[in-house]
């Protein structure tokens, strides 16, 4: 049996684990077939044959009990180890009903194995049922998470920079960092999918640290290239990252290690997170004390409470692209005009997202909007392209 950090190769005839062994991890069977048997005295009973896509060894891992069966490879197999933490993180955040159902299932499984002694057939409760769509989706998610961990370890995630235009000066003032991932088999994976997956677990923390390091490296190359003024890069921060008390200390350590000014990094907090006003106000205050700027992303998409906005001292408001696309409608134009005026009154810059036409850009400039971002200004690009642009 040979193994890497993310794969286990099991030759035909080899035993993956024996009945009575301590559980170290569960496995997702990628290729091959595995026979699972249990011994009652001198009698060995086959529980089933597993095929690609099946999970094995998870019960012992979940309840931290000795293996109740032996797993033997019927052919050459490739398996993906799944450690206890990957299960534990999801169980901790699961609905109590889901946890109760899972514990009930484990109990039924253990009971069925205990009843096998002297019986010619498996009890009905121990007979596997066909996998449902939910189960298949769950296995796909676990597989994708493991692939994401592998991509992070191999530094295969790609950070792209989308330019942000200073409308009045007609020059590139900064960029927004966007993370992209091209899966070796699936091709490009939507950020909405893999970032959401990372946020479900603590994986978002190392992903965020990786992106920060890439961003600061980019800023070193871009420094002083725009009329002698330092370029800024905006970096999205998730709710799970904001819960990390050491987040800002790590940010500042990386910024200083690259010889940058803290003001060159702008932290973007999505509007859905500002419902926790006290937490966000505290984070903004700490960022300002350290010299970091903070932007409110996706402004106006449903979570804004103007009764609390004046208490949150954001440096920048990012106008959602939905408003920009509908500016040809007089009522929407009036809303954008009001938002721009409000931002200036609060001492905030404002970035209009989703700018795709010169008409939109001219209209935003006439309203006094500070910055524009969108395909008209530039698509997310590699570092060399960003350097060439500025």
Name the more confident of 389 and 195.
195
- Looking at the fold, whether 103 and 156 belong to one and the same domain comes out as no
172 and 265, same domain (yes or no): yes
Domain boundary among the residues 129, 153, 179 is at 129
pLDDT reading at 141 higher than 90: no
Same-domain check for residues 161 and 92: no
Residue 134 counted as domain residue: no
Same domain, 156 and 78: no
Q: Write down the pLDDT at residue 114.
A: 65
Say if residue 246 is in the same domain as residue 160.
yes
Q: Which residue has the higher pLDDT, 187 or 239?
A: 187
Residue 137 domain-assigned? Answer: no
Does residue 136 fall inside a structural domain? no
Q: Indicate the number of domains in the chain.
A: 2
Cα 290 from Cα 287, distance rounded (Å): 5
Q: In which region does residue 359 sit, left (phi positive, over 0), alpha (psi from -120 to 50) or beta (all else)?
A: alpha
Residue 205 has pLDDT above 70, yes or no: yes
More confident residue, 58 or 113: 58
What percentage of the chain exceeds 90 in pLDDT? 49
Query: What pLDDT band is residue 20 in, cutting at 50, 70 and 90?
Result: confident
- Neighbour tally for 187: CB within 10 Å: 8
Please check whether residues 204 and 324 belong to one and the same domain. yes
- At 115 the pLDDT is 67
- The two three-digit tokens of residue 234, written as one number: 């905006």
In a domain, 374, yes or no: yes
Q: What pLDDT was estimated at residue 130?
A: 39
Residue 231: CB atoms within 10 A of its CB come to 23
Average pLDDT over residues 120-149: 61
Kindly state whether residue 325 falls inside one of the protein's structural domains.
Answer: yes
> For position 305, what pLDDT does the model report?
61
Q: Is residue 177 part of a domain?
A: yes
5/151 Cα distance (integer angstroms): 12
Say which CATH number the domain at 176 has.
Answer: 3.20.20.450
Query: Is residue 230 pLDDT above 90, yes or no?
Result: no
Q: pLDDT at residue 198 above 60?
A: yes
How many whole angstroms from its chain centre is CA 377? 27
CA distance 183 to 103: 35
Q: Are residues 162 and 100 in the same domain?
A: no
Q: What is the pLDDT of residues 369-382, one digit of tens each?
A: 999 999 999 999 99
The answer to whether residue 202 scores a pLDDT higher than 70 is yes
Please, are residues 46 and 36 in contact by the beta-carbon 8 Å criterion?
Answer: yes
- Residue 138 forms part of a structural domain: no
Instruction: Tell how strand 293-299 and strand 265-270 pair up.
Output: parallel
The answer to whether residue 298 sits within a structural domain is yes
Which tokens in the block code for residue 169? 């000066």
Clarify whether residues 296 and 185 are in a common domain. yes
Same domain, 241 and 365: yes
Sheet containing 26-31, strands listed edge to edge, beginning at the edge strand earlier in sequence: 2-3, 8-10, 77-82, 26-31, 55-56
Radius of gyration, CA atoms only, the chain: 27
Mean pLDDT score across all residues of the chain: 84
Distance of alpha carbon 271 from alpha carbon 317, whole angstroms: 10
What are 279-318's pLDDT values in tens digits?
Answer: 888 889 999 999 999 998 888 775 556 767 777 899 999 9
What is the pTM for the complete model shown? 0.72
Where in the sequence is the domain holding 362, given as residue range(s)? 144-389
Q: Are residues 96 and 213 in the same domain?
A: no
Does the pLDDT value for residue 129 go beyond 80?
A: no
CA-CA distances (angstroms) from residue 349 to 79, 90, 165? 52, 39, 12
Same-domain status, 339 and 368: yes
Q: Quote the tokens at residue 128.
A: 């596997």
- What share of residues in the chain are helix, strand, coil (percent, to 5)? 45, 25, 30
The residue written with tokens 């086959």 in the block is: 46
Q: What CATH number is given to the structural domain containing 115?
A: 2.60.120.10
- Residue finishing a domain among 129, 158, 174: 129
The span from the CA of 251 to the CA of 52, in Å, is: 42
Residues 94 and 156 occupy one common structural domain: no
Write down the residue that tokens 């409608």 correspond to. Answer: 329
pLDDT of residue 131: 42
pLDDT band for position 103 (cuts 50, 70, 90): low
- 36-47 pLDDT, tens per residue? 998 877 788 898
| pLDDT of amino acid 126 | 38
- Give the three-class secondary structure for 9: strand
Q: Of 129, 160, 193, which one is at a domain's C-terminal end?
A: 129
């Amino acid at each position: 049996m040979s193994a890497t950090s993310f794969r286990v190769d099991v030759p035909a005839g080899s035993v993956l684990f024996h009945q009575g062994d301590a559980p170290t991890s569960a496995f997702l069977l990628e290729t091959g077939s595995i026979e699972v048997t249990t011994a009652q005295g001198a009698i060995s009973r086959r529980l089933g044959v597993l095929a690609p896509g099946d999970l094995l060894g998870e019960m012992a891992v979940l309840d931290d009990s000795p293996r109740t069966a032996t797993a033997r490879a019927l052919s050459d197999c490739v398996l993906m180890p799944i450690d206890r933490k990957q299960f534990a993180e999801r169980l901790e955040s699961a609905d109590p009903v889901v946890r109760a159902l899972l514990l009930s299932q484990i109990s039924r499984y253990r009971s069925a194995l205990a009843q096998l002694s002297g019986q010619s057939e498996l009890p009905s409760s121990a007979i596997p049922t066909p996998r449902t769509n939910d189960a298949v989706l769950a296995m796909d998610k676990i597989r994708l998470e493991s692939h994401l961990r592998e991509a992070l370890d191999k530094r295969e995630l790609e950070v792209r920079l989308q330019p942000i235009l200073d409308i009045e000066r007609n020059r590139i003032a900064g960029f927004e960092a966007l993370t992209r991932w091209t899966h070796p088999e699936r091709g490009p994976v939507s950020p909405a999918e893999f970032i959401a997956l990372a946020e479900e677990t603590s994986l978002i923390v190392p992903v965020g640290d990786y992106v920060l390091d890439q961003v600061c490296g980019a800023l070193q190359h871009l420094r002083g290239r725009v009329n002698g003024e330092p370029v800024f890069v905006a970096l999205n921060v998730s709710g799970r990252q904001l819960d990390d008390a050491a987040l800002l200390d790590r940010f500042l350590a990386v910024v200083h290690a690259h010889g940058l000014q803290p003001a060159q990094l702008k932290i973007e907090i999505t509007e859905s997170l500002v419902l926790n006003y006290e937490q966000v106000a505290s984070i903004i205050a700490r960022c300002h004390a350290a010299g970091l700027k903070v932007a409110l992303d996706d402004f106006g998409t449903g979570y804004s409470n103007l009764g609390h906005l004046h208490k949150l001292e954001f440096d920048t408001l990012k106008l959602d692209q939905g408003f920009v696309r509908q500016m040809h409608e007089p009522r929407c134009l009036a809303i954008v005009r009001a938002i721009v005026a409000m931002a200036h009154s609060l001492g905030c810059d404002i970035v209009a997202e989703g700018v795709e036409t010169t008409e939109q850009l001219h209209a935003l400039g006439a309203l006094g909007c500070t910055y524009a971002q969108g395909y008209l200004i530039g698509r997310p690009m590699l570092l060399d392209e960003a350097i060439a642009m500025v």
